[in-house]
Amino acid sequence: MTGRLEEVAAAWRSAKYPVMFTGAGMSTESGLPDFRSARGLWKQRPESLATMTALRREPGEFYFFYQWRIARLWAAVPNTGHEALAALAAAGFVKLLITQNVDGLHQRAGSDAVELHGTLRTVSCLECGAGYDSRTLLPAAAGWEDDYRAGRYLPGKECACSACGGGLRPDVVLFGESLPAAAWETAERASRAADFFVVVGSSLAVGPANLCPEFALANGARLVIINQEATHLDDRAEWVFRDRAAGVLAALRERIIG
Ligand SMILES: [Zn+2]
């Protein structure tokens, strides 16, 4: 792997417009569990519970799902991969960091990131639009996870806006919603301008976000894919690392900026 790391580092160093694109695999080494590993109805069908319909029809399942994830994301810390990308960006080696993640770990590591799927760091009121830190949504009393497992969980007043009483929602893109327009435009423009494009921890299964590396390829960009599973663009990548994100990024950082 060392020879390939040297090649990628050299290509990255000479790139004029390097763009990064990260997904869930970026955060697994921060101890963020895949949400499908939790219990509950949404283990079987997250696509139908991460929706506005579910918020209205099954508020208990909906709110528990997000409370469970919010509690864990605030307990997680950025890993050496997040730190490597922040350091590379500070040194001028990243034009744009695009992420599919909603955990805010890039920002907490010091990176600016375009969040294609919104963020779980904040929630907002469905009625008046007031915004809150997402920890607002966490029940004050302990034991709510046990209550859920015992079938006696109900969403409490923490799920309502303290200004108007309207329901709160996470500021993430739910299934059936479109991507935030400004974020998408920024990501598309940078991807189309990229001459070097690195996919990190994404299986490129979710559209339209997964078009970004294709925009870059159409511009003639050299593509690097760092992901534990295969992706449909592996054949078009110049370098594929079937590996954990943090280790590869830390090794590249070492070779590019020391
Ligand atoms: Zn409100």
**Are residue 3 and residue 89 in the same domain, yes or no?**
yes
**Are residue 140 and residue 254 in the same domain, yes or no?**
no
Q: What is the predicted pLDDT for the residue at 1? A: 67
**Are residue 205 and residue 137 in the same domain, yes or no?**
no
**Are residue 52 and residue 84 in the same domain, yes or no?**
no
CB 120 within 8 A of CB 70: yes
**Are residue 69 and residue 150 in the same domain, yes or no?**
yes
**Are residue 230 and residue 212 in the same domain, yes or no?**
yes
List the beta bridge partners of residue 132.
Answer: 123
SS3 content of the chain, % helix, strand, coil (to 5): 45, 15, 35
pLDDT at 35 over 80: no
**Are residue 182 and residue 251 in the same domain, yes or no?**
yes
**Are residue 247 and residue 199 in the same domain, yes or no?**
yes
Domain count, the chain: 2
Q: What is the predicted pLDDT for the residue at 202? A: 93
Quote the ligand 1 centre to 101 CA distance (angstroms). Answer: 26
Residue 39: both structure tokens together: 């219990």
Quote the ligand 1 centre to 118 CA distance (angstroms). Answer: 20
**Are residue 127 and residue 161 in the same domain, yes or no?**
yes
Beta strand residue intervals within the chain, DSSP E? 18-22, 96-99, 114-115, 118-125, 131-133, 168-172, 196-200, 222-226, 239-241
Quote the ligand 1 centre to 62 CA distance (angstroms). Answer: 19
Question: Near ion ligand 1, which residues have CB within 5 Å?
Answer: 125, 127-128, 130, 161, 163-164, 166
Mean pLDDT (whole number) for 127-153? 94
CATH number at residue 188: 3.40.50.1220
pLDDT at 131 over 60: yes
Under the banding of pLDDT at 50, 70 and 90, the label for residue 41 is very low
Out of 155, 172, 189, pick the residue that ends a domain.
172
Question: Residue 243 belongs to what domain range?
Answer: 1-32+77-117+178-258
Q: What is the predicted pLDDT for the residue at 3? A: 86
CATH number at residue 127: 3.30.1600.10
CB 4 within 8 A of CB 239: yes
Measured over all CA atoms, what is the biggest interatomic distance in the chain, rounded to whole angstroms? 60
- Asked if residue 208 has a cis previous peptide bond (ω within 30° of 0), the answer is yes
Quote the ligand 1 centre to 128 CA distance (angstroms). Answer: 4
Length of the chain equals 258
**Are residue 9 and residue 101 in the same domain, yes or no?**
yes
Mean pLDDT, the chain, as a whole number? 93
Quote the ligand 1 centre to 170 CA distance (angstroms). Answer: 13
**Are residue 67 and residue 194 in the same domain, yes or no?**
no
CB 218 within 8 A of CB 205: no
List the beta bridge partners of residue 183.
Answer: none
pLDDT at 158 over 50: yes
pTM as predicted: 0.94
Q: Which sequence positions are flagged as catalytic?
A: 117
**Are residue 129 and residue 107 in the same domain, yes or no?**
no
